[in-house]
Structure 1
Protein backbone atom coordinates (compact mmCIF):
# COMPACT_ATOMS: atom_id res chain seq x y z
CA UNK A 1 0.00 0.00 0.00
CA UNK A 2 1.52 3.33 -1.00
CA UNK A 3 1.84 6.30 1.31
CA UNK A 4 -0.95 8.11 -0.55
CA UNK A 5 -3.39 5.24 0.00
CA UNK A 6 -3.01 4.97 3.77
CA UNK A 7 -6.13 5.99 5.64
CA UNK A 8 -4.06 7.98 8.14
CA UNK A 9 -3.28 10.61 5.51
CA UNK A 10 -6.95 11.58 5.23
CA UNK A 11 -6.90 13.91 8.29
CA UNK A 12 -3.82 15.59 6.80
CA UNK A 13 -5.67 16.12 3.52
CA UNK A 14 -8.57 17.67 5.41
CA UNK A 15 -6.19 19.92 7.35
CA UNK A 16 -4.54 20.95 4.07
CA UNK A 17 -7.97 21.85 2.66
CA UNK A 18 -8.88 23.78 5.84
CA UNK A 19 -5.55 25.62 5.66
CA UNK A 20 -6.42 26.75 2.13
CA UNK A 21 -9.85 27.90 3.31
CA UNK A 22 -8.22 29.76 6.22
CA UNK A 23 -5.77 31.46 3.86
CA UNK A 24 -8.56 32.49 1.49
CA UNK A 25 -11.13 33.36 4.18
CA UNK A 26 -10.38 37.10 4.31
CA UNK A 27 -11.56 37.28 0.69
CA UNK A 28 -14.22 34.57 0.89
CA UNK A 29 -15.95 36.12 3.90
CA UNK A 30 -15.01 39.78 3.27
CA UNK A 31 -13.26 40.21 6.58
CA UNK A 32 -12.50 43.79 7.57
CA UNK A 33 -10.50 43.29 10.76
CA UNK A 34 -6.80 43.65 9.88
CA UNK A 35 -5.46 41.61 12.84
CA UNK A 36 -7.89 38.80 12.04
CA UNK A 37 -6.96 38.77 8.35
CA UNK A 38 -3.22 38.61 9.02
CA UNK A 39 -3.69 35.94 11.70
CA UNK A 40 -5.73 33.74 9.35
CA UNK A 41 -3.21 34.18 6.51
CA UNK A 42 -0.17 33.30 8.60
CA UNK A 43 -1.80 30.47 10.54
CA UNK A 44 -3.31 29.03 7.36
CA UNK A 45 0.11 29.04 5.68
CA UNK A 46 1.77 27.31 8.66
CA UNK A 47 -0.96 24.65 8.87
CA UNK A 48 -0.78 24.10 5.11
CA UNK A 49 2.99 23.60 5.18
CA UNK A 50 2.81 21.24 8.18
CA UNK A 51 -0.02 19.22 6.62
CA UNK A 52 1.77 18.96 3.29
CA UNK A 53 4.94 17.84 5.08
CA UNK A 54 2.93 15.22 6.99
CA UNK A 55 1.47 13.89 3.75
CA UNK A 56 4.89 13.64 2.11
CA UNK A 57 6.85 12.20 5.06
CA UNK A 58 4.91 11.76 8.29
CA UNK A 59 6.47 12.79 11.61
CA UNK A 60 4.65 13.35 14.88
CA UNK A 61 5.98 16.90 15.23
CA UNK A 62 4.01 17.98 12.15
CA UNK A 63 0.77 17.00 13.83
CA UNK A 64 1.81 18.75 17.05
CA UNK A 65 2.39 21.91 15.01
CA UNK A 66 -1.18 21.60 13.74
CA UNK A 67 -2.45 21.06 17.30
CA UNK A 68 -0.62 24.20 18.47
CA UNK A 69 -1.90 26.22 15.50
CA UNK A 70 -5.45 25.00 16.16
CA UNK A 71 -5.22 26.06 19.80
CA UNK A 72 -3.70 29.36 18.67
CA UNK A 73 -6.68 29.93 16.35
CA UNK A 74 -9.05 29.37 19.27
CA UNK A 75 -7.20 31.81 21.57
CA UNK A 76 -6.00 34.41 19.05
CA UNK A 77 -9.18 36.53 18.84
CA UNK A 78 -8.73 37.57 22.45
CA UNK A 79 -4.93 37.71 22.38
CA UNK A 80 -4.79 39.82 19.21
CA UNK A 81 -7.87 41.91 19.94
CA UNK A 82 -10.54 40.91 17.44
CA UNK A 83 -13.29 39.36 19.59
CA UNK A 84 -16.93 39.53 18.45
CA UNK A 85 -16.06 39.71 14.77
CA UNK A 86 -16.64 37.43 11.82
CA UNK A 87 -12.90 36.60 11.88
CA UNK A 88 -13.31 35.36 15.47
CA UNK A 89 -16.03 32.91 14.50
CA UNK A 90 -14.00 31.56 11.60
CA UNK A 91 -10.87 31.34 13.75
CA UNK A 92 -12.53 29.45 16.60
CA UNK A 93 -14.47 27.07 14.35
CA UNK A 94 -11.52 26.21 12.14
CA UNK A 95 -9.20 25.96 15.15
CA UNK A 96 -11.44 23.40 16.83
CA UNK A 97 -11.71 21.25 13.69
CA UNK A 98 -7.98 21.45 12.90
CA UNK A 99 -7.06 20.51 16.48
CA UNK A 100 -9.47 17.58 16.42
CA UNK A 101 -8.13 16.31 13.09
CA UNK A 102 -4.51 16.60 14.26
CA UNK A 103 -5.26 14.65 17.45
CA UNK A 104 -7.12 12.05 15.39
CA UNK A 105 -4.12 11.65 13.10
CA UNK A 106 -1.77 11.33 16.08
CA UNK A 107 -4.03 8.64 17.57
CA UNK A 108 -4.27 6.70 14.30
CA UNK A 109 -0.50 6.64 13.88
CA UNK A 110 0.04 5.72 17.54
CA UNK A 111 -2.46 2.88 17.23
CA UNK A 112 -0.71 1.63 14.10
CA UNK A 113 2.69 1.61 15.84
CA UNK A 114 1.39 0.00 19.07
CA UNK A 115 -1.30 -2.51 18.06
CA UNK A 116 -0.71 -4.67 21.14
CA UNK A 117 -2.12 -1.95 23.40
CA UNK A 118 -5.42 -2.00 21.54
CA UNK A 119 -5.79 -5.78 21.11
CA UNK A 120 -8.41 -7.70 23.05
CA UNK A 121 -7.25 -10.06 25.82
CA UNK A 122 -6.99 -13.63 24.55
CA UNK A 123 -6.67 -12.43 20.96
CA UNK A 124 -10.45 -12.47 20.42
CA UNK A 125 -12.32 -9.69 18.71
CA UNK A 126 -15.58 -8.39 20.02
CA UNK A 127 -17.07 -7.23 23.32
CA UNK A 128 -15.68 -8.40 26.63
CA UNK A 129 -17.93 -10.42 28.98
Structure 2
Protein backbone atom coordinates (compact mmCIF):
# COMPACT_ATOMS: atom_id res chain seq x y z
CA UNK A 1 0.00 0.00 0.00
CA UNK A 2 1.17 3.45 -0.73
CA UNK A 3 0.69 6.63 1.25
CA UNK A 4 0.60 5.10 4.74
CA UNK A 5 -0.21 7.83 7.19
CA UNK A 6 -0.47 7.91 10.96
CA UNK A 7 -4.25 7.68 10.55
CA UNK A 8 -3.89 4.35 8.75
CA UNK A 9 -1.71 3.03 11.56
CA UNK A 10 -4.50 4.03 13.98
CA UNK A 11 -6.99 2.16 11.78
CA UNK A 12 -4.82 -0.96 11.77
CA UNK A 13 -4.53 -0.72 15.55
CA UNK A 14 -8.33 -0.46 15.77
CA UNK A 15 -8.67 -3.52 13.56
CA UNK A 16 -6.41 -5.50 15.88
CA UNK A 17 -8.27 -4.21 18.96
CA UNK A 18 -11.61 -5.12 17.42
CA UNK A 19 -10.45 -8.65 16.66
CA UNK A 20 -9.07 -9.04 20.19
CA UNK A 21 -12.39 -7.89 21.66
CA UNK A 22 -14.28 -10.23 19.33
CA UNK A 23 -12.15 -13.19 20.43
CA UNK A 24 -11.85 -12.11 24.08
CA UNK A 25 -14.63 -14.39 25.41
CA UNK A 26 -12.50 -17.38 24.39
CA UNK A 27 -9.10 -15.80 25.03
CA UNK A 28 -9.98 -14.63 28.55
CA UNK A 29 -12.78 -17.03 29.52
CA UNK A 30 -15.75 -14.66 29.84
CA UNK A 31 -19.06 -15.90 31.14
CA UNK A 32 -21.56 -16.70 28.42
CA UNK A 33 -24.50 -14.41 27.93
CA UNK A 34 -24.61 -10.64 27.65
CA UNK A 35 -20.88 -10.19 28.30
CA UNK A 36 -19.91 -12.46 25.42
CA UNK A 37 -22.56 -11.02 23.10
CA UNK A 38 -21.44 -7.47 23.91
CA UNK A 39 -17.78 -8.32 23.29
CA UNK A 40 -18.57 -10.01 20.00
CA UNK A 41 -20.86 -7.30 18.63
CA UNK A 42 -18.64 -4.43 19.78
CA UNK A 43 -15.53 -6.17 18.42
CA UNK A 44 -17.16 -6.76 15.03
CA UNK A 45 -18.28 -3.12 14.81
CA UNK A 46 -14.80 -1.81 15.72
CA UNK A 47 -13.13 -4.14 13.20
CA UNK A 48 -15.66 -3.31 10.46
CA UNK A 49 -15.18 0.42 10.98
CA UNK A 50 -11.41 -0.03 10.82
CA UNK A 51 -11.67 -1.98 7.56
CA UNK A 52 -14.00 0.69 6.13
CA UNK A 53 -11.57 3.43 7.17
CA UNK A 54 -8.66 1.59 5.55
CA UNK A 55 -10.64 1.04 2.33
CA UNK A 56 -12.03 4.55 1.93
CA UNK A 57 -11.54 7.34 4.44
CA UNK A 58 -14.57 9.17 5.82
CA UNK A 59 -14.84 11.42 8.87
CA UNK A 60 -18.00 9.70 10.12
CA UNK A 61 -16.04 6.48 10.67
CA UNK A 62 -13.88 8.17 13.28
CA UNK A 63 -16.90 9.60 15.07
CA UNK A 64 -18.49 6.14 15.13
CA UNK A 65 -15.21 4.67 16.41
CA UNK A 66 -15.29 7.21 19.23
CA UNK A 67 -18.88 6.27 20.12
CA UNK A 68 -18.22 2.51 19.97
CA UNK A 69 -15.00 2.90 21.97
CA UNK A 70 -16.86 4.85 24.64
CA UNK A 71 -19.59 2.18 24.66
CA UNK A 72 -16.99 -0.54 25.25
CA UNK A 73 -15.53 1.61 28.03
CA UNK A 74 -18.80 2.13 29.92
CA UNK A 75 -20.59 -1.14 29.05
CA UNK A 76 -19.38 -2.98 32.18
CA UNK A 77 -21.36 -0.53 34.33
CA UNK A 78 -24.35 -0.33 31.99
CA UNK A 79 -24.63 -4.11 31.61
CA UNK A 80 -23.52 -4.92 35.18
CA UNK A 81 -20.32 -6.89 34.83
CA UNK A 82 -17.94 -4.64 36.76
CA UNK A 83 -15.25 -6.28 38.84
CA UNK A 84 -14.61 -9.03 36.30
CA UNK A 85 -11.87 -9.91 33.87
CA UNK A 86 -14.30 -8.95 31.10
CA UNK A 87 -14.55 -5.46 32.56
CA UNK A 88 -10.80 -4.98 32.35
CA UNK A 89 -10.71 -6.09 28.72
CA UNK A 90 -13.67 -3.88 27.74
CA UNK A 91 -12.30 -0.81 29.55
CA UNK A 92 -8.77 -1.13 28.13
CA UNK A 93 -9.90 -1.79 24.56
CA UNK A 94 -12.67 0.82 24.74
CA UNK A 95 -10.29 3.47 26.04
CA UNK A 96 -7.71 2.62 23.37
CA UNK A 97 -10.26 2.79 20.54
CA UNK A 98 -11.68 6.08 21.84
CA UNK A 99 -8.20 7.59 22.23
CA UNK A 100 -7.22 6.50 18.72
CA UNK A 101 -10.42 8.03 17.34
CA UNK A 102 -9.71 11.32 19.11
CA UNK A 103 -6.15 11.30 17.76
CA UNK A 104 -7.41 10.72 14.21
CA UNK A 105 -10.03 13.45 14.54
CA UNK A 106 -7.38 15.80 15.86
CA UNK A 107 -5.01 14.91 12.99
CA UNK A 108 -7.80 15.59 10.49
CA UNK A 109 -8.43 19.01 12.00
CA UNK A 110 -4.73 19.84 11.70
CA UNK A 111 -4.23 18.60 8.15
CA UNK A 112 -7.56 18.13 6.37
CA UNK A 113 -7.57 15.19 3.93
CA UNK A 114 -7.65 15.86 0.23
CA UNK A 115 -11.12 15.47 -1.17
CA UNK A 116 -10.08 15.65 -4.81
CA UNK A 117 -7.66 13.53 -6.76
CA UNK A 118 -4.41 14.90 -8.07
CA UNK A 119 -3.72 15.40 -11.74
Confirm or deny a common fold (TM above 0.5).
Answer: yes
- Compare CA radii of gyration and give the structure with the larger one: 1
Q: Structure 2: 5+ residue runs without aligned partners?
A: 114-119
Q: TM-score, normalised by structure 2?
A: 0.88
Structure with greater helix percent:
1
5+ long unaligned stretches in structure 1? 115-129
> Residue 91 of structure 2 corresponds to which residue in structure 1?
92
Question: Which string of whole-angstrom CA distances, capped at 9 and with x for unpartnered residues, describes residues 26-45 of structure 1?
Answer: 01011115211111100000
CA distance in 1 between partners of 2:66 and 2:5 (Å): 21
1:35 paired residue number:
34
Partner of 1:57: 56
What is the root-mean-square deviation in Å for CA atoms of aligned residues?
A: 1.6
Secondary structure (helix, strand or coil) at the match of 1:58 reads: coil
Distance 1:22 1:85 in 2: 15
1:2 maps onto 2:2 in alignment: yes
Deviates further, 86-95 or 103-112 = 103-112
